[in-house]
Structure 1
Amino acid sequence: MRKQKNFVFFLALIGAVVLLITSVQPPSEANAAKDNLNLKKLEVDEFFTNRDGTFILRDMKKEKTFVYNNERANQRFAPQSTFKVPNSLIGLQVGAVEDEYDIKYWDGVKREIEVWNQDHTLGSAMRNSVVWYYQAMARDIGENRMKEWVQKISYGNQDISGGIDQFWLSSSLKISPIEQADFMESLYKENLPFDKDVMKTVKRMMIQEEEDNYTLYGKTGQGSGIGWYVGFIETDNRAYSFATNIAGTSTDAKNITMDILKKYNLMPEYGQGT
């Protein structure tokens, strides 16, 4: 009888131990790496082999920043199509467009990118980087209002003298990658001088990938041999702004950014067919 009681006690003890172990399971390696990401120890040289470029990653909750190639990070370049982000904010704020569904009709002029040759909404123009839509919206905003708002948000050198529908395209307006990361952080935190619903709309239009454990927001830009990819990424418990600028294309800049985010488990499912 005593042996039977001891055996029952032993089984109960084993069950309690198993329950305790399962209740304190450590986080996965990916989550642990993500939670404890040390920006000072990032290694990204491999992504810039034989290529001049810079990469900035800012932990917006810990307020810590990693910069690869500090000299280029502080050099100003034309924003190219990354200016579609502030252009959208300004256009919505002043009523040049009503919302992300506001349609502009194609003028029938054939342009080099086929998807541009059709009517577009503000949202589809952002996703497809439709230059003519944003040029038309900039003209509707007008030089005075555009200048006022570019100054209000302290965007780069704030110089729009290159023409109301050209100043951001290899023209007078210049911004550094560091300034881009600052601007993206301000947009993420909704600290810019725009209405909250305006900022939320633009952020929604910037979504590029949305998975269970992260959401990626971004905008590309390229011209005059320069490629940009800027934005921010939200994970389960972290948020990072980023800016990549390279001598190359926007596709190259975006691929470099995503490869770095993947390496450090900020996009754990990227490239795995999900």
Structure 2
Amino acid sequence: MKKMIWFIVTFFLISILSTTPQTNAKTSTNGDQKTKEIDLSHFFSHHDGTFILKKLNNNKMYVYNSERADTLFTPESTFKVPNALIGLEVGAVRDEYDVKRWDGIERQFEIWNEDHTLGSGMRYSVIWYYQAMARDIGNENMQTWISNLSYGNEDISGGIDQFWLNSSLELTPFQQADFMEQLYKEELPFTKKNMKTVKRMMIQKDEDNYVVYGKTGTRLSDFGLGWFVGFVENKQGAYVFVTNINASGTTASNITYEILKEMKIIQD
């Protein structure tokens, strides 16, 4: 009888293991979604890069250069999005109008050399504002939230006001897409109010037929890494996008708009 029970249990376990999809941990951010490789090489003839587009109404994902899309990179200023969410949640800032005074230090972009709010700091990618907010959040709070979000490799050891800037924190373009999808759906572990505030700050274009929400990121040491990440709403639905290239975030943004036009997701 014991042998018979052992045989049945063993057979049952083998059956489960043999029918369960085995997902490579490296690409687990993409899960079991329908993914299609697309050829966008004409947009990346001068840059090594990747592009991800996910249609949220049917979970279809389109990827150019999936190998790069599953490679870790520092988030640079795209981290302003989770940074703002955390800052609002823990009370390091009150709202998108919370002002921080310029410290008088001349920085490389003229627009940075003045007082800013959380919203204008997002719009003009003012690093010093978000560094000051990160210091106010503090190491313990920051690590707790980064871990709760499972944000990339979760490594903030590079310093509370530096870890996302060509430093210790890294994530893949697939992980960026997953984070942006959760933000769009307001499924992140933040209050709805704070998620709506950050989404509002991310608006890049608000046209009659579509709205683009996004954030650029650039590795300023050499302009050799650029991001443009976010989502689009049009009359057909919503789409998450991620562009990552070995150039500036501005270049990533320009390429993204050209791709979205070619795919007829935005039309002027």
Q: TM-score, normalised by structure 1?
A: 0.83
Aligned to 1:77: 73
Alpha-carbon shift at residue 227 of structure 1 (Å): 0.6
Identity of aligned residues (%): 61
Alpha-carbon shift at residue 41 of structure 1 (Å): 7.9
Aligned to 2:87: 91
Aligned to 1:246: 245
Distance in 2, Cα, partners of 1:234 & 1:41: 23
Alpha-carbon shift at residue 50 of structure 1 (Å): 3.6
Aligned to 1:33: none
- How many residues are matched? 232
Aligned to 1:260: 259
User: Are residue 121 (structure 1) and residue 121 (structure 2) matched?
Assistant: no
Distance in 2, Cα, partners of 1:123 & 1:50: 33
Choose the corresponding residue for 2:187, options 173, 187, 191: 191
Q: 1:209 to 1:101 in 2, by over 3 A?
A: same
Q: Deviations over 1:79-115 (max 9, x none)?
A: 0000000000000000000000000000000001000
**Structure 2 regions of 5+ residues with no counterpart?**
1-33
**SS state at 1:233 partner:** strand
Aligned to 1:107: 103
Q: Deviations over 1:39-82 (max 9, x none)?
A: 84854221011421000000111111011101100001000000
Give the letter aligned to residue 239 of structure 1: A
Q: Deviations over 1:209-260 (max 9, x none)?
A: 0011100000000115101000000011311001100011111111110000
Distance in 2, Cα, partners of 1:254 & 1:91: 26
**SS state at 2:119 partner:** helix
Q: TM-score, normalised by structure 2?
A: 0.85
**SS state at 2:265 partner:** coil
Aligned to 2:206: 210
Choose the corresponding residue for 1:144, options 134, 140, 151: 140
User: Are residue 231 (structure 1) and residue 230 (structure 2) matched?
Assistant: yes
Choose the corresponding residue for 1:60, options 56, 77, 80: 56
Alpha-carbon shift at residue 204 of structure 1 (Å): 0.1
Give the letter aligned to residue 246 of structure 2: A
Distance in 2, Cα, partners of 1:164 & 1:118: 23
**SS state at 1:267 partner:** coil
**SS state at 1:150 partner:** helix
Distance in 1, Cα, partners of 2:126 & 2:250: 16
**SS state at 1:100 partner:** coil
Distance in 2, Cα, partners of 1:120 & 1:41: 41
Distance in 2, Cα, partners of 1:254 & 1:39: 23
Larger Rg: 1
Give the letter aligned to residue 193 of structure 1: P
Aligned to 1:220: 216
Aligned to 2:8: none
Give the letter aligned to residue 175 of structure 2: E
Aligned to 1:25: none
